[in-house]
Structure 1
Amino acid sequence: MLPWIQLDRATIPGDGGALRLKRRGGEFSIMLGANELMNSRLSGSEEALATLSCERIAGRKNAGMLIGGLGMGFTLRAALGALPQDARVTVAELVPAVVEWARGPMAEIHKGTLDDPRVDIHIGDVGPLIRSATSAYDAILLDVDNGPDGLTRASNDGLYDRSGLQAARAALRPKGVLAVWSSGPDSAFTRRLREAGFSVDEVGVRANGKRGGARHVLWVATRP
């Protein structure tokens, strides 16, 4: 078996530690400590985060989407495949190196999506974009942690607490969608979503889609 080779290392701004980009043959992995955050062989649940959200906002003109976390670009690529040409997608990525990796060693995975004219890349925290917006987005997709708690940064907890969910609700247009990726269930988060005024669907998905893999959870929450 081929060995893993570390290609780069990037510090997460604030209190988040460091990401490591590794490659083994044609396979890529992004690690945070001992945790594998992303693997290029496993894209099913990230793609589902986009496709389920796009289904909810289908038919809207000039739809606006905010994606928190670029990662390996699977969510962005799936969103662009489902959204019409008049849509706009803002991708907020906290770690500048992740965008550099997308244009460099992982360009073959991203397949030019960062150059799509519908896409704007924001280097920075997704939280302030949400808190500063009012009825600005039809969908907000969050895949910045392994679930609704601040794994990569403790300050990310503010995305998932009561005030963070209220801010997301205010940033969405009527019948807008907040979709959150998680490696597992969290009943307390489901409850907080409902308390924040969302209609909530908790969807079980497989890491590699129809081909199976680990069981992940997506919350697809709609602003009434």
Structure 2
Amino acid sequence: MAETLSRLPGAAGELVLRRSGPHFEIIANGMFLMDTRDGTSERLLVTAAADRMPAGGRMLIGGLGVGFSLRAALDHPRVGGIVVLEREPAVITWNHGPLRELHGDALSNPRVRCVPADLVPWLRTCDERFAAVCLDIDNGPEWTVSDTNAALYSGLGLDSLAWVLQPNGVLAVWSASASESFAGLLRARFTRVEVLSVPVSRGEPDVVFLASTPRPAATDPADFATK
């Protein structure tokens, strides 16, 4: 039986950290969000993007989670500085606390800047450019933690994500399921799109969407609204 370690308020409702044997679980507003049992696809999200990005470039990670993605970025030889956005203070606190040993205290690495902010409004004012953007803040384009996050996976949201990429940059998006409609939106905005499937022990495979070399777009991130 899982042991509840912490309950804290969050943007998407109550956040709960539980321990089940050697594993940790995070529950958001009563919905299972993530655990530490595997992490293969979360690591692939970062390593696949890093393999394709310009060497030494900076990476933006949307969603800290349990730190698997951040650890993979720090360990990849092509990644320089890392900015990780996490809107839930509880998740940041837990990664400094009981989750720290899972990723070698990655948040304390001098190459990492952790920004306690919601990615959606942050994009509207971002004046930085990244060699790679890795998005893992939901269970996928069709299963978001909050309604406002759905805007990220729209055409306008993808335009805003492309805006913060370097011309030869890479966008990677994690999903718990396939989505041909989302893949179509990516193909309309990037010259190359790949879909990687990762088998899991139960249910349909996890998916990592990779999109590189943004096409020219007229959308300014200031126009990105959270409707």
In the alignment, the residues of structure 2 paired with residue 169 and residue 58 of structure 1 have an alpha-carbon distance, to the nearest angstrom, of: 16
Residue type of the partner of 1:9? R
Residues 167-178 of structure 1: matches in 2 within 5 Å? Answer: 167-178=160-171
Residue type of the partner of 2:9? T
In the alignment, the residues of structure 1 paired with residue 191 and residue 6 of structure 2 have an alpha-carbon distance, to the nearest angstrom, of: 40
Shift of 1:36: 2.1
Encode CA deviations 1:55-101: one digit per residue, 9 max, x unaligned: 00152x4x11110100100011011100457x110010010011110
Query: Are positions 1:221 and 2:219 aligned together?
Result: no
Residue type of the partner of 1:145? D
Q: Which residue pairs with 1:112 in the alignment?
A: 105
Residue type of the partner of 1:155? T
Shift of 1:134: 5.0
In the alignment, the residues of structure 2 paired with residue 42 and residue 34 of structure 1 have an alpha-carbon distance, to the nearest angstrom, of: 21
CA contact (8 A) 1:201 1:221 kept: yes
Q: Tell me the SS of whatever aligns to 2:107.
A: helix
Q: Which residue pairs with 1:98 in the alignment?
A: 91
Query: Are positions 1:204 and 2:191 aligned together?
Result: no
Q: Tell me the SS of whatever aligns to 2:95.
A: helix
Deviation above 3 Å: which 4+ runs of structure 1? none
In the alignment, the residues of structure 2 paired with residue 109 and residue 201 of structure 1 have an alpha-carbon distance, to the nearest angstrom, of: 30
Kindly, what percent of the aligned residue pairs are identical?
36
TM-score (norm 1): 0.88
In the alignment, the residues of structure 2 paired with residue 26 and residue 79 of structure 1 have an alpha-carbon distance, to the nearest angstrom, of: 24
Query: Are positions 1:157 and 2:160 aligned together?
Result: no
CA contact (8 A) 1:68 1:143 kept: yes
Residues 1-224 of structure 1: matches in 2 within 5 Å? Answer: 3-13=1-11, 16-59=12-55, 61=56, 63-84=57-78, 87-133=80-126, 136-149=129-142, 151-207=144-200, 215-224=205-214
Encode CA deviations 1:104-146: one digit per residue, 9 max, x unaligned: 1112112111011110000011123333335611111110000
Which moved further from structure 2: 47-56 or 189-198?
189-198
Shift of 1:33: 4.4
In the alignment, the residues of structure 2 paired with residue 77 and residue 146 of structure 1 have an alpha-carbon distance, to the nearest angstrom, of: 20
The 1:98/1:191 distance shift into structure 2, 3 A limit, reads same
Structure 1, gaps ≥5 residues long? none
The 1:191/1:84 distance shift into structure 2, 3 A limit, reads closer
Shift of 1:151: 2.0
Structure 2, gaps ≥5 residues long? 215-227
Output the aligned Cα RMSD: 1.8
CA contact (8 A) 1:135 1:174 kept: no
Q: Tell me the SS of whatever aligns to 1:145.
A: coil
The aligned length equals 213
Residue type of the partner of 2:37? R
Encode CA deviations 1:173-221: one digit per residue, 9 max, x unaligned: 01101100000001110111112234210110134xxxx5651001001
Shift of 1:150: 5.7
In the alignment, the residues of structure 1 paired with residue 87 and residue 141 of structure 2 have an alpha-carbon distance, to the nearest angstrom, of: 17
Q: Tell me the SS of whatever aligns to 2:190.
A: coil
Shift of 1:50: 0.7
In the alignment, the residues of structure 1 paired with residue 163 and residue 6 of structure 2 have an alpha-carbon distance, to the nearest angstrom, of: 38
